[in-house]
Structure 1
């Protein structure tokens, strides 16, 4: 049979020399294909068809190093992320809430940096609205949420 025109294009000496040089430098089939204008499977056929031009590669040497898994992050507990609240004087919870009741706000009126601790059990519900410390509660209510009052 006569050689096809495709075979002439795939196996011309200039292409073989360039592909062989790139292969021996360690480039991948895909990278060689991009440089010489051929697809990855075509370059693979060329490498298999002309083993005398292409040095065999050590599969272990060119394998990618095994990636170590990233260390797992420990979740931060709410108690650990709380600021140092030892300076807050111990006050009876009911007394503090009764004092704050006159400054209470509805949930719609409470700002993003104000305490959202509920002060009463009946409607309209009022919330503390003191300055929040690192979260949704003021220092006093933060202490109450972390330990039993």
Structure 2
């Protein structure tokens, strides 16, 4: 077969393929790109038997350790600071809504720490109610002072 003014012998390429040479190695021998060999192999599947795919491309690395329980990991992180709930958030908890229940114009401040996350949902003109907006600004001031 003539590709880019170079001749690739399909039977010779198939023989090299059966000897477990990669498409790149065969391409170097014929002076063409790897994609040419892959295309020929695809079009002439009878000559090129499929090779089993290698799942681990880095055999020298060991397998990953099994994942730990995420709830247990939450308590063991040294850099995580557990902030106690604010009094206002505890008062808002009975009126809180889940994310899918929030409407436009309701406060989107999360008031618990998960499963499911609950949000303040006080009617407001912006993203946060007046109380949570002031808390967000005060937190920002504290972090800029610490730097």
Q: TM-score, normalized by length of structure 1?
A: 0.35
Task: Identify the structure with bigger relative contact order (alpha carbons < 8 Å, sequence gap 6+).
Answer: 1
Q: TM-score, normalized by length of structure 2?
A: 0.35
Give the structure with higher Rg (CA). Answer: 1
